[in-house]
Chains A and B, each alone.
Chain A
Amino acid sequence: MSGYNLKEVMNKPERLAPGHRMCAGCGATIGVRAVLRALHEGDYAVIGNATGCLEVSSYMYPYTAWEDSYIHNAFENAGATLSGVETAYRALQKRGKLPKDANFKFITFGGDGGTYDIGFQSLSGAMERGHDMVYVCYDNGAYMNTGIQRSSATPHYADTTTTPVGSQSNGKMQNRKDLASIIAEHDVAYVGQSTLTRDFKDLHLKSEKAIYTEGASFLNIMTPCPRGWRYDTAEVMKICQLAIDTCYWPLFEVDHGKWMMTYEPKKKLPIEDFLRPQGRFKHLFKKGNEDLLVQFQEEVDRRWEELQYKAAR
């Protein structure tokens, strides 16, 4: 994998065509294209998709942006739907009903709402059954398609439309669910947590591993949403870098049960650096809310240590 070459990878034919209706600067779109670049040329794919921004903006009848076969079913069942497609592949292959050289890969995308929350059962079932597929969560930390409602992926204290900041509220009251770890505990073949980094190497390699490791794989990709997070749209890559350098969003993988850190910042930055550029955390920087920032930092530290412990075992 040391042969990663950004230029080469970027020159591969796009499998998500331009012309879709996603917002300018949308992190999810960047993430999806990065995942699809990991497909080897010549391999076919069936792409699944939970209802969400990505779905309604990429396949609006009669136009589709997907170069591969694609199926959207509903909000909460992307895992189950693709498990049906994958099983059909095995069934038809076994009966000699498909050309022998047709190598299909199965990748499904869901936002955090469709993955952490309403689609959690369907995801858990598909992962536990070990279908040879990849479930990719594009985690932007809220129900963005319906207008920025909190999900269990929403970070503590975030201002969302169902956890609005007010005189009696400091935003979301709970910490975010650590879904990548929960899926890793399903004993699946491969789990990777990644985001958009400057050379896309981390996401590319993890996507390739996820797609080409036999069995069930899960990718959790932090994909910022400029509308929901309220940062300057052009700053997406900077926001992602701050997320990993503050250890808010650790990059790690779990390959057949083996936990590994894939990025450790030389200098761990304070969490304020990640929170400050985002309008959803504006209230944390008001006078009198210093303790909230301390709490946030403590939770980031606790999770980071926990992860390092798992990786050191």
Chain B
Amino acid sequence: MAKKDRMSGNEAVAYAIRQINPDVMPAFPITPSTEIPQMVSTYIANGDIETEFIPVESEHSAMSAAIGSEAAGARTLTATSSCGLALMWEELLIAASNRMPLALALVNRTLSGPININCDHSDGMGARDTGWIQIYAENNQEAYDNFIQAYPIAEDPRVHLPIMICQDGFITSHAVENITLEEDADVKEFVGEYHPEEFLLNPGKPVAVGPYSLSCYAMEARYNQAQAMENAKEVIVEVAQKFKKQFGRGFEFFEEYKTEDADYIMVIMGSAAGTAKQAVDDLRAQGKKVGVIKLRVFRPFPAEELAAALKNCKAVAIMDRTESYNTHGGPLAAELTAGLYRAKVWIETVCYTYGLAGRDFMVETVYDIFNELEDVVENGKKVEQHKYVGLRK
């Protein structure tokens, strides 16, 4: 029987790790993800799990050791945030190109500078093209649920790619909320055992990992990685469906909230989706036809599915919690507008940058954004295609 409890997002992920009982965890402390390795260390100290913890001397070494461990045949994970993920950057690419199905609990925090410990998505978005699957959570429950789905997705032979399970720093990682926790045995069964096909510690069957590859082979390796990411789309859906069937919760690529008849839709990721839904409820009470799409999976990017979900609305607000300095929108805006164009969905789009470095995202801001979309469509108002919201006046 599942049980009801109260815990923070970090606790929820650590709880899932305890239930999965993976083989090896190298990790280095960085706010706000530090609690995860702390809690895992405590589980180990108390004999609750058999995981081997490696207290490495940097995040670069955390990911390096994780690659070594995963290549050796052990189910491996790490956790980090912000600059820690940036320091791993080179190794993120190597983990993906070596097709290591390891898991990373990313607690999203802004990148320096200025140095700031609060939430935005600049760390995760900065790593979006490293070949990792990326799944984002709105709340503690989703962080927990997504982590349970991590290995079944990553280790699937059609995929064999590393996976990043993301939650918002402090807002989700440290805030205590109600949560439903599944039975240890049910989680173990859902995740299953790891049986790698080839690994370093296979006696008598040596394998070489990490070749130097000339131009005559290296491009095929990239192509295969891209194919694996393509395959990940069906596997993510299968695993989400299986999870929903067994535990009764969850979404595939995204959640559609009151979008069926909506004229105006906000596409948003992470904890701010909760704020957006509240605003939608308020505006619906006033008769406004508005809705929210909360994007769960950013890599692989479900461009066609999003375009199909948006094709009947009049305008969409695309919300980026990071800056990409391309001068016309953040990464979500760039990818989604490209997806709409490809699908020939000719609707108005406005790209908003919000919530950088922990700036609060308010229900009132969402009202303003929906009002602006209405103004654009109904009154032909000209607005900048890329705007900041929530800035100091």
Chain A interface (Cβ within 8 Å of chain B)?
44, 46, 48, 55-56, 59-62, 64, 66-74, 76-77, 79-85, 87-92, 94-95, 97-99, 102, 104, 121-122, 124-125, 128-129
B58 at the interface (CB under 8 A from A): yes
Q: Mark B196-210, 1 if CB is under 8 A from A, else 0.
A: 000011111011111
Complex formed: what's the CA distance from A94 to B49 in Å?
12
| B24 and A91 within 8 A (CB) | yes
Contacts known (A66-B206, A95-B23); A87 close to B71, Cβ less than 8 A: no
| Interchain CB contact under 8 A, A71 and B203 | no
Instruction: Let me know if B66 and A84 touch, CB within 8 A.
Output: yes
B32 sits at the interface (CB 8 A): no
Residues A83 and B201 in contact in the complex (CB < 8 Å), given A59-B208, A60-B211, A125-B57: no
- Tell whether, in the assembled complex, residue A85 and residue B72 are in contact, meaning their CB atoms are under 8 Å apart: yes
B303 CB–A CB distance under 8 Å = no
Residue pair A74, B91 in contact (C-beta under 8 Å): yes
Residues in chain A near residue B91, CB distance under 8 A: 73-74, 77
Given contacts A60-B213, A122-B60, contact A80 B52 (CB under 8 A): no
Q: A88 contacts which chain B residues (CB < 8 A)?
A: 23-24, 52, 68-70, 72-74, 76, 200-201
Can you name 23 A-B pairs with beta carbons within 8 Å? A44-B201, A44-B203, A56-B212, A61-B214, A66-B206, A68-B206, A69-B201, A69-B208, A70-B200, A71-B68, A73-B64, A80-B64, A80-B65, A83-B65, A84-B24, A84-B26, A84-B69, A88-B74, A91-B50, A92-B72, A104-B203, A122-B61, A129-B56
Size band of the interface chain B makes with A: 35 or more
Contacts of A73 in B (CB 8 A): 64, 67-68, 91, 94, 210
* In the complex, residue of chain A having the shortest beta-carbon distance to the beta carbon of B211: A61
**Which of A87, A94, A98 is B69 in contact with, Cβ under 8 Å?**
A87
Task: Please tell me if B90 contacts chain A, counting CB pairs below 8 Å.
Answer: yes
The residue from A60, A70, A97 contacting B206, defined by CB atoms under 8 A apart: A70
CA gap between A90 and B54 in the complex, in Å: 12
Identify which of A60, A73, A92 gathers the most chain B CB atoms within 10 Å of its CB.
Answer: A73
Cα A152 to Cα B65 with chains together (Å)? 25
**In the complex, chain B residues 156-215 whose Cβ is within 8 Å of any chain A Cβ:** 200-204, 206-214
Task: Check A55–B212 contact: CB distance below 8 A.
Answer: yes
Q: Is B51 an interface residue (CB 8 A)?
A: yes
B-side contacts of A46, CB under 8 Å: 72, 200-201
A98 contacts which chain B residues (CB < 8 A)? Answer: 201, 203
Encode B365-388 as 1/0 by CB contact (under 8 A) with A.
000000000000000000000000
Q: CA of A154 to CA of B64 in the docked complex: distance in angstroms?
A: 27
Contact B208 A64 (CB under 8 A): yes
Shortest distance in angstroms between A32's beta carbon and chain B's nearest beta carbon?
A: 15
- B-chain residues with CB within 8 Å of residue A60 when the two chains form the complex: 211-214
A80–B206 contact, CB under 8 A? no
In the assembled complex, which residues on chain A have CB atoms less than 8 Å from the CB atom of B203?
44, 98-99, 102, 104
* B325 close to A (CB within 8 Å): no
Once the chains are docked, how many angstroms separate the CA of A71 from the CA of B204?
16
Contact pattern, B 40-63, Cβ under 8 Å of A = 1, otherwise 0: 000000000011101111101110
Residues of A within 8 A of B223 (CB): none
Report chain B residues within 8 Å CB of A85.
68-69, 71-72, 200-201
How many angstroms from the CA of A77 to the CA of B321 in the assembled complex? 32
CB neighbours (8 Å) of A74 from chain B are 64, 90-91, 94
Asked if B24 contacts A81 (CB within 8 A), the reply is no
Indicate whether A83 sits within 8 Å of B54 (C-beta atoms), given known contacts A73-B91, A98-B203: yes
A104, B68: Cβ atoms closer than 8 Å: no
Which residue from chain A places its CB closest to the CB of B90 in the assembled complex?
Answer: A74
Closest to B212 in A: A56
Q: Do A80 and B68 form a contact, CB below 8 Å, given A88-B73, A91-B51, A92-B23?
A: yes
